[in-house]
Amino acid sequence: MKVREITTGAVLTAAALTIFIIENQIPVPVPIYGFRLGLSNIITLITLVLWTRQGSLSVLLIRIVLSSVICASGIAILYSLAGGLFSFFIMSVLCALTGKKNIPLIGICGAVCHNAAQLCAAAVILKSTSVFIYFPVLLSVGIAAGLFTGLAASYCVRNKYISSLFHGLKEGK
């Protein structure tokens, strides 16, 4: 791995972690347990489109580990990993199929899959399927949050300055 790739990954991880920490400090506007916009997912979407899957996955995993250590309890890392990895897989497949064309749709699918995977993790950890009663609420919240993060990422990807920061990284130059 080249120095520029490592540096880019570190800066993107720092950006995603900063966004996560700031979002964690904002009071939740709706009375839904666990609700967050998932603004750090904007960085994941940008890196999926403009960088490589490996680079994007590295940024995601390091951000999850660091945010769990800094802001959350020990068990939260299991929920974050389940949601993050499943949504990453779905978003990377959709990104490979559509590229820059449908970033808002990719954001929606990622958010919904993130919520679904977290519910599955909760069902396993709590040994109860009753958590799935919560899915319709999380589905609607996930669609709204995913649309917002997808639109934000789409705007950033179209920005010439932001996309120029990734020039030469994807091709390995």
Q: How many CB atoms lie within 10 A of CB 81?
A: 18
Ordered by where they begin, the domains of the chain are 3-26+36-165 (1.10.1760)
- Identify the CA nearest to 153 among candidates 97, 119, 109, 89: 109
Report DSSP state, residue 103.
H
Q: Which residues, 6 or more positions from 4, have their beta carbon under 8 angstroms from its beta carbon?
A: 168, 169
pLDDT of residue 170 exceeding 70: no
- Stated as kind and residue range, the H or E segment containing 60 is helix 53-71
Question: Quick one: pLDDT band at residue 123, thresholds 50, 70, 90?
Answer: very high
Query: Could you read off the pLDDT of 1-60 as tens digits, one per residue?
Result: 688 888 989 999 999 999 999 988 888 776 766 677 889 999 999 999 999 899 999 999
Cα dihedral across residues 137, 31, 33, 130: positive or negative: negative
How confident is the model over 61-119, as pLDDT tens digits?
Answer: 999 999 988 886 678 889 999 999 999 999 999 999 997 889 999 999 999 999 999 99
- Contacts with 57 (C-beta within 8 Å, 6 or more apart), sequence order: 88, 92
pTM for this model (two decimals): 0.89
| Residue 164, both tokens | 């120029």
Q: What are phi and psi of 168, to 5 degrees?
A: 90, -15
